[in-house]
Chains A and B, each alone.
Chain A
């Protein structure tokens, strides 16, 4: 099984538009949208015949006021500042509650129940080139990477059942737990950078993660013509650090037009410069000779933060 993850660090560099293009170039593909906090890929792939499941992220403490004596012991024990007196009445803030259950354990009148937060969902559906797994984290939940793991497990299961070889993972922004959950166990990472100082900086932080997990990584510079000086800087840095630059895609308003028409750029304008480059990059990455890839060199990179 070949698992390819698309990452960037900084948001808005074009991860999802490129994931959509890759997902519609190759057939018999399983796509996993791991940006469970703000997923968008389904807007282009438009999966059908849904299979839907609940996901429990944690628990929230709720007071049963008919037996509560308003003693306030729970507030003394809570370390998340979630319990306070509001108009003389002990009150739990649903937002601040971390679900540790300590208040429920210490309550002398057993008036606190733990209610599961099960508003998050995950889905499997069919799209035109294969199958897609995605999820929606309920607002205000902790994005610990657990829901990302569920999406990935189900993508793998789907690939095993269908006998398909490729899983494309659209990753979340940032460098936290959900990103780490999206990277572990993958074969290849495509880091989508853009020629901005922040895009360059965040790309380096993500490469640190992929190097730690020994995942072979390619850099792709999106909207490269918006600042060719910074594009040049990114390219030189990649050469110095032995990171292959898979390609450069020009800024193209048609990528937005494609999105509006619920298509990927390679479906919408297959003859455009951007589409041709994306197709070339995808072929190149899939034909890359593993032996030539100097994983050790990559793993040795020490990127100075600041």
Chain B
């Protein structure tokens, strides 16, 4: 493990449950154990699970808000321009009955209605979307957890805020939400390297292809970890080879590993041999990024 200025690694996968959190928590734990400064950012804001594996003292909790328009009906002339400007159907407007109302759940905080209103009838208030928690592990290791409130239209503003809080870290690991839609993009956008975790099954391979296609479009460097190796077939390995995609690490399917994970324990702590594997993983990533 070498000194580097600000390396940001995202751990992601198209399919859920392939082992993203297993990889990110163990990589984080191994690096801090070696005495290097590191921050783990839990970007899976709908289901943050990192804190089940590594915990510490909560240093502070910041709330993340969005702006919501408030229409003053005393000043409103019911011209309907804000309704026309809103591209999200978040304003209900019935001109004949002089009725106008904001549907808060549909508002994306774009500010168009405020620009539209010529009569000063629209002001804005804050609405909570979620929280970003900072958890202190030791003098050189920290966890930042993004957590979305239930029913929020998108976890993206919370993810962005969490990543921003970790922006001064020497080495940051982002635990990504599953899938390939905007929460995933918001997580990997600022990363220097993406680790895709898959399993050697047809479902794993299908979703890996979707992730790879997306990362290639974005021109992001990436590599693959095969988890539960030994299950399934060789198809994923053949595909990686044909497409010149680096295989960074294999974690075997093993009932003992499944048990350690199921109880919220860390593989690298329980089986120290894995510390070497995760150190090698970081080295391999550093090598690719430096090229």
Contacts and interface: CB of A to CB of B under 8 A. Distances in A.
B159 to A, nearest CB: 12
Given A40-B203, A40-B207, A201 B52 contact: yes
B178 A173 contact: yes
Which secondary structure dominates where chain A touches chain B? loop
A245 interface: no
A140 B112 CA distance: 23
Interface residues of A, number: 54
A99 to B, nearest CB: 6
Interface stretch (A11-19, A22-30, A160-168, A285-293): A11-19
Contacts of B202: 40, 43, 259-260, 262
Given A142-B154, A226-B262, A227-B263, A137 B110 contact: no
A140 B214 contact: yes
Interface stretch (B10-18, B237-245, B283-291): B10-18
B153 A144 contact: yes
A256 interface: yes
Contacts of B179: 37-38, 143
B101 interface: no
Contacts, number: 158
Contacts of B119: none
Given A12-B15, A38-B207, A195-B262, A142 B182 contact: yes
A139 B217 contact: yes
B65 interface: no
Interface in A82-115: 95, 98-102, 105-106
A128 interface: no
A10 interface: yes
A253 interface: yes
A16 B87 contact: no
A101 B263 contact: no
Interface residue range, chain B? 35 or more
B46 A198 contact: no
From B87, B206, B258, residue with most partner A Cβ within 10 Å = B87
B264 A197 contact: yes
Contact of A227 (B16, B178, B259): B259
A194 B148 CA distance: 23
B47 A141 contact: no
Contacts of B14: 37-38
A306 to B, nearest CB: 9
B150 interface: yes
Contacts of B110: 79-80, 98, 100, 102
Given A16-B203, A79-B111, A95-B218, A38 B153 contact: no
Nearest to A174: B46
B206 A43 contact: yes
Interface of A: 9-13, 16, 37-38, 40, 43, 59, 77, 79-80, 95, 98-102, 105-106, 137, 139-144, 173-177, 180, 194-199, 201-202, 205, 208-209, 226-227, 230, 253, 256, 259-260, 262
